[in-house]
């Protein structure tokens, strides 16, 4: 990502949460991989999808009926689907690739769903349930959940509980907080974290570092990311930056369980830097 693109990302993500343009901010992540990316064609596509849904809507229809119209257009008409063949392909996490290829993972397909609904002034919000991002409809009378990864399947609260049980057993206790509305900032952070995990598994250290840099723009107080950035910088032989990050982590996380390990890294960095002077 260029300095200019990173600055634009920072300007967007630091707006008041409700003012953060989710699609544009998600597309800014893709500048990391596609520095010549043009945003307008993707925003135009979202407008087009929403217009197609709007033409099919009836002003008197129920929220469930509207969801049915959105599902018909998004998943049947435009052919969007969950990528069950190659879930960890990084293209599933770049919003431009999702819109181009019509495949994605729960977080990116949910972002698509949120953005189409926003254009319809239909109250849909993200739900950051562990292991599987969802969206939900809510108003004063009703609330239900939707799974864009599975063609917009409608779920009840009990269905969500069962999903969590299937994913984690008794390791994660179900509570109402798990189904709370996710902020735009949390959605962007989760996209970045998915890419970070993919790059860690693929040993793409430089790309992983870029994701951590952006995660710290989203949340500048996330001490775990300072630690991880320091360790990544060590691998890339960026010793000065690594030392600053790890010392920041130790200073602000005095009770960290890995404190001794990180202290040893800091000592090694000081030894390396002394040899280089």
DSSP, res 78: S
Q: Let me know: does 235 contact 242? Beta carbons within 8 Å.
A: no
Summarize the confidence of residues 179-185 as an average pLDDT. 96
Confidence label for 234 from pLDDT (cuts 50, 70 and 90): very high
pLDDT at 1: 58
Predicted confidence (pLDDT) per residue in 196-210, tens digit: 999 999 999 999 999
Query: Pick from 182, 210, 229: which residue ends a domain?
Result: 182
Query: Alpha-carbon distance 191 to 90, whole Å?
Result: 10
- 25 and 88 share a domain? yes
- 44 and 143 share a domain? yes
Q: Residue 41 is part of which domain span?
A: 3-182
In a domain, 94, yes or no: yes
Query: Pick from 127, 154, 182: which residue ends a domain?
Result: 182
Q: How far is CA 4 from the centre of its chain?
A: 22
- 176 and 271 share a domain? no
Write the Ramachandran bin of 131: left for phi over 0, alpha for psi from -120 to 50, otherwise beta.
Answer: left
Joined together, the tokens standing for residue 108 give 């990116």
In a domain, 63, yes or no: yes
Pinpoint the alpha helices (H) of the chain.
3-13, 22-30, 40-56, 63-71, 95-101, 106-119, 157-168, 184-201, 205-218, 223-235, 239-252, 259-276
């Amino acid at each position: 990502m260029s300095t200019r693109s990173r600055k634009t990302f920072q300007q967007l993500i630091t707006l008041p949460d409700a003012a953060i343009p989710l699609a544009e901010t998600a597309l800014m992540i893709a500048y990391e991989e596609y520095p010549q990316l043009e945003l307008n064609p993707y925003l135009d596509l979202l407008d087009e999808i929403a217009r197609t849904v709007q033409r099919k809507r009836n002003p008197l229809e129920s929220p469930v009926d509207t969801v049915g119209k959105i599902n018909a257009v998004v998943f049947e008409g435009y052919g969007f689907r969950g990528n069950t063949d190659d879930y960890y392909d990084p293209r599933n996490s770049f919003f431009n690739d999702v819109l181009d290829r019509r495949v994605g993972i729960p977080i990116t397909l949910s972002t698509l769903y949120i953005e189409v609904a926003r254009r319809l002034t239909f109250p849909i919000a993200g739900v950051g349930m562990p292991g599987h991002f969802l969206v939900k409809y809510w108003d004063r009378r009703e609330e239900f959940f939707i799974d864009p990864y599975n063609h917009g399947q409608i779920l009840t609260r009990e269905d969500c509980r069962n999903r969590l049980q299937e994913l984690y057993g008794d390791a994660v206790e179900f509570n109402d907080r798990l189904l709370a509305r996710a902020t735009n900032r949390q959605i962007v952070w989760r996209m970045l974290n998915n890419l970070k995990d993919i790059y860690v598994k693929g040993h793409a250290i430089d790309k992983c570092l870029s994701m951590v840099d952006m995660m710290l723009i989203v949340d500048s107080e996330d001490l775990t990311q300072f630690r991880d950035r320091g360790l990544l910088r060590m691998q890339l032989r960026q010793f000065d930056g690594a030392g600053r990050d790890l010392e920041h982590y130790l200073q602000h996380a005095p009770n960290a369980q890995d404190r001794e390990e990180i202290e040893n890294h800091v000592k090694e960095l000081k030894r390396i830097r002394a040899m280089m002077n």
